Structure 1
Amino acid sequence: MSNLGFRILQRDSRPNPALLQQFQDVVTPHISDNLNRMHAISSALRPYHRAGRLVGAALTVKTRPGDNLMVHKAIDLAEPGDVIVVDAGGDQTNAIVGEIMLRLAQKKQIAGFVIDGAIRDTAAFMDDTFPVYARGVTHRGPYKDGPGEINVPVSVGGMVIEPGDILVGDEDGLAVVPLREAEGLLQLIREQQEREKHILQSIEDGSVSRDWVDEALKSKGCEGL
């Protein structure tokens, strides 16, 4: 029997770099719209970096609240372009990552951190463009005892994230793209980008139609039109 709760698994799938590259110009609202607004991570996780987008493949960690031993191991295992996604139970008593781990992650070309827990050394993150999203901040450091698991499904900000899923973060928040849906989703997003391009152009040239507003109000029984 495997040691449930204290184990490191292999990641079965991971998006190729070409697929990740196609998400570099995709905004989180378009991901949300085309996943029926059901795949957004809670806004309780907010960005602490100065600027920059997050795009990468999830390397998931489930850890005991306040303990980052398995997060250190995840940094050692990570490949360039990975996002270390940590389910720390939302606890903010102890920080899960700080400046030392930031520098280690940068050296390994990790794409960013998503921490359902706290961070510290906040100034180091706020002065940098390395993406980090977290639930909060505390000066209290972590323990390094375990247990924990790597490459298992995790719950972060109300979303279940599988190893290898695509994480996209920008100024509007964080979105999760299930890896198995990524190719089809991209096609829907490109179509939406084109539609919105034409809408913006019609606003600019004065040809935009607003008839749909009254039609929607009438269909819902609004009086006074």
Structure 2
Amino acid sequence: MDPLSLLQLPRASRPPLPLAAAAAPLTEEQQPSPSGEERFDWLDLWYPLAPVCDLDLHVPHGKTVLGLSIVDWYDRGAGEWRVFDDACPHRLASLFEVRIDDRGRLQCVYHGWACVASYPCVVQNNILWFYPRDDPEYKDVLQRKRPLLIPEIDDPDFVTVYGIRDLHYGYDILVENHMDPAHVPYAHKGIMRGIRKKEDPGRYVPEASFLPGD
């Protein structure tokens, strides 16, 4: 394979990560807890990376998911998207700021070789998803387990608008926020039909509790 020409490198959509970011993800191996209860396996899930309409077919895109540095890019030779480790195994060189050659292959900036670990990925609902395990036994995981399907996104009777927003808090706070029946009608007046006036907060009486021991 021909070495890279540094003058031809396309630029991707984020600044370089330090080499430490190319190390193993922060998630730990999922072992049974001391209480005997099975732990939730964060790596046994499909994760959405981006709507494909937001991805440039000609450059790789660097992302971090679960502490794992990855790069997604379009393989023109195969006509499909790929998701790789954002680190060449030889020198841990980042791959999000490299060249996609004339044959559609992602080449490392250091040697020009292409031999990095890849992850299962698929486009579904016009969104690129990836499965964060690159072991050989997960190569066909798509045949056993697919990403969450949202039929309305593919239904022409619905209007779909994609958006990405960085939130500076954990997922647990966001879930609680969306499940709070008194919050959305008051704080987000105008995004739901039949919503009350903003100055008229609702009164809610709980009919059931799902707390442990109740």
TM-score range, shorter chain: under 0.3
The normalised TM-score by structure 2 is 0.27
- Relative contact order: is structure 1 or structure 2 higher (C-alpha 8 Å, sep ≥ 6)? 1
